[in-house]
Amino acid sequence: MMKKLFFFLLLSLSLSAQKIELIKLTQNIKDKRGMTKSLILIDNRKDKVIGKVSHKNEEIEVKFANEELESSIEKWFEEENKVKGNNDIVLILEELKVYNEQDPGQKKIFGKAKITISSFIKRNSRYYFANRFDNVVVSDPRDLAGQIAMVFSEFIKGSYISTVSSEVIPENEIEKYNQYLSKNYKAFNNSVLKDGVYTNFKGFYDQVPEPGYMVEKNRKGKVVRIKHNELQVSMSEAYCYVDAGKAYRLTPLGFVEMLKGSEGFFIVSSRQQLFKEKSSTGMMVGAAAGGVVGALIGAAIDSVSNAEAMNGFGLKTPTISKVTIDSLTGSYIFEK
Sign for the pseudo-dihedral over CA of 193, 199, 203, 204: positive
- Backbone dihedral angles phi then psi of residue 304, each to the nearest 5 degrees: -60, -40
Strand partners, 126: 123, 170
pLDDT < 70 positions in the chain: 1-17, 276-313
Please give the single-letter amino acid code of residue 326: D
- The pLDDT value given to residue 75: 95
Residue ranges per structural domain of the chain = 17-181, 185-277+316-334
253: left (phi over 0), alpha (psi -120 to 50) or beta: alpha
- Interatomic CA distance for residues 292 and 270, integer angstroms: 23
Q: Report the relative pairing of strands 52-55 and 58-64 from DSSP bridges.
A: antiparallel
- The pLDDT value given to residue 102: 87
User: Within 10 Å of residue 294's Cβ, how many Cβ atoms?
Assistant: 18
- The pLDDT value given to residue 172: 86
- The pLDDT value given to residue 18: 73
From the options 1.10.3470, 3.40.50, 1.20.5, 3.30.40, give the CATH code of 17-181: 3.40.50
Q: Let me know: does 100 contact 113? Beta carbons within 8 Å.
A: no
Question: What's the pTM?
Answer: 0.82
Helices H / strands E in the chain, number of each: 9, 20
- Interatomic CA distance for residues 109 and 336, integer angstroms: 12
User: Within 10 Å of residue 211's Cβ, how many Cβ atoms?
Assistant: 9
- Interatomic CA distance for residues 318 and 296, integer angstroms: 28
**How far are the Cα atoms of 74, 237, 275 from residue 252, in angstroms, in the given order?**
39, 13, 7
Q: Over the stretch 2-30, which tens digit does the pLDDT of each residue have? A: 555 544 444 444 444 579 999 999 999 99
Does residue 55 sit in helix, strand or coil? strand
- Interatomic CA distance for residues 120 and 122, integer angstroms: 6
Residues 6+ away with beta carbon under 8 Å from 2:
none
